[in-house]
Amino acid sequence: MNHLIEAFEVLLDPDAWSGPGGFGARMIEHLWYTALALLISAAIALPVGLIVGHTGRWRALAVISSGMVRALPTLGVITLAALFVGIGLTAPMISFVVLAVPSILAGAYAGVESVSPATKDAAKAQGMSGWQVLLRVEIPLGLPLIIGGLRNATLQVVATATLAAYVGAGGLGRQLFLGLRTQDYPLMLAASIAVILLAIILDALFELSQRLLRRRMGLV
Amino acid sequence: MEWILNNLPRITDLTLAHLMLALPAVAASFLIAVPIAWAANRVRPLREVVVSGTGLLYAVPSLPLFIVLPILLGTGVRDTFNVIVALTIFGLALMVRSAADALDSVDAGVRLASTAVGYSPAMRFFSVELPLAGPALLAGLRVVSVSTISLVSVSAVLGVQSLGSLFTDGFERAIIPSIAAGIVLTAVLALLLDLLLVAVGRLIMPWARVGQS
């Protein structure tokens, strides 16, 4: 328990938060990695997932890829990428994207697929084109599941971003590995608590947005 | 390939160490999740709280959990017990929801009928509800087993031996085959355990086409 008190002393110490290597800067780095990885992954996975859901083609491929990512050890992906492209942000970013794409893809096609065929037929009967059905019916109605995919991807990336420091990048993992190497358990603990809080806050924000969305759509 | 052949004894040891961490965690999360799910289904107002509450645990990143948990357990960060408990928590986060849904999917009419023919609650659970929920429970267990096997490796950065050690060794000494072997073996292990679960499912639930839930 003493360690826990010491860890909170670290977290409540303004000096630990300030400066280029402080908790504040590392947390912003962590968030920046997460945001960038999500942006890149969404740019790849959203269009593909929406098209898979809309056309129903390559569905098996999307299902398999999202199943496979669970079996993929994140540490293996990140260290392998680091050996190939070297120390820095590129290797972690590649692995974040590899790990985030399947979740977003799955959410996107599941969202589009979840719209009832009767609704889609009705939209077509109104004279909507394929694109209009996708943009005005399938995407808005599938939004809670599409956001669910982004939510899973965010969790995955926030967790994996902690490992980025292992291959020489920044983020809150820096403090964690510094504590590990110097046998400074309170510092490790403080960094771990910071990452856990960050993950839970982000997850709660997604939960909130999904709830608001469902309420606006009249589903609850 | 040569590197793998030269290091075969070590790889075998690491594979066994990996299983010694993953298998107890998978078993424990199943055995703990089913009673929790059953109780949550019985006390209806608590169901959503319990199911969402355990689900929230999944939001906790693995490496930080490996580090925070020893405070509660009184163990060291590198203790295998610590790693197994952390993995069990992640397993529970997935399994409680699928077990609650699986037990809930048992038809209410069937439940009433079994009570009517004289089953006690305990007998009803073991001989009616559990078998009927079996295929859905198995589907949840398969997800837990795959994700647990891949999660184990993160503990290697703390110095716990598993297939993850092939990643840390491989990275520190720049041996690509070591990392590649680790990834492939993790996937193979996940696949083998999955096939085993499906086979066991067919054996004990011959009435269900397993895997098509």
| Domain CATH number, residue B142 | 1.10.3720.10
- Of B68, B152, B171, Cβ closest to residue A79: B171
Exposure of A57 by Cβ count < 10 A (0-12 exposed, 13-18 middle, 19+ buried)?
Answer: exposed
Q: Identify whether B192 is part of a domain.
A: yes
Q: Does A203 touch chain B (CB under 8 A)?
A: yes
Q: Is residue B142 part of a domain?
A: yes
Number of other CB atoms surrounding residue A201 within 10 Å: 11
- For the residues B8-33, what does the mean pLDDT come to? 93
Q: Is residue B212 part of a domain?
A: no
- Domain assignment present for residue B210? The answer is no
ipTM: 0.83
* Position A14 confidence tier, pLDDT thresholds 50, 70, 90: confident
Q: Chain B neighbours among A 46-105 (CB < 8 Å)?
A: 67-68, 70-77, 79-80, 82-84
- Token output for A10: 């670290």
B213: pLDDT strictly greater than 50: no
Across the interface, of A70, A76, A195, the residue whose CB is closest to B146 is A70
What's the total number of domains in chain B? 1
**Domain A24-216's class?**
mainly alpha
Helical H runs in chain B? 2-6, 8-42, 44-56, 62-73, 80-104, 108-116, 121-124, 130-152, 165-172, 176-204
Query: What integer pLDDT is reported at residue A56 of this predicted model?
Result: 78
Per-residue pLDDT tens over the stretch A80-107: 999 888 888 888 999 999 989 988 988 8
Token pair in block for residue B5: 């052949």
Domain assignment present for residue B51? The answer is yes
**Domain annotation covers residue B211:** no
Q: Is the pLDDT of residue B84 over 80?
A: yes
The 8-class DSSP code of residue A89 comes to: S
**Domain spans in chain A, listed from the N-terminal domain onward:** 24-216
Cα B22 from Cα A119, distance rounded (Å): 45
Residue A158 in contact with partner chain B when CB distance is under 8 A: yes
pLDDT in tens, B48-69: 888 888 878 888 888 888 888 8
Domain that holds residue B128: 2-204
Q: Name which of A70, A76, A82 is nearest A156 in CA terms.
A: A70
Q: Decide if B209 is inside a domain.
A: no
Closest Cα to residue A175, out of A35, A4, A22, A30? A22
pLDDT score at B149: 93
Residue B136: which of B212, B27, B50, B202 has the closest Cα? Answer: B212
Q: Are A183 and B77 in contact (CB under 8 A)?
A: no
Cα–Cα distance measured from residue A163 to residue A99, given in angstroms and rounded to the nearest whole number: 13
On whether residue B138 sits in a domain, the answer given is yes
Q: Which of B60, B65, B163 best tests the A interface by mutation, with the highest count of A CBs <10 A? A: B60
Express each pLDDT in B87-97 by its tens digit: 999 999 889 98
Spatial CA neighbour of B157 closest among A107, A112, A166, A190:
A166
Tell me if chain B has a CB within 8 Å of the CB of A159. yes
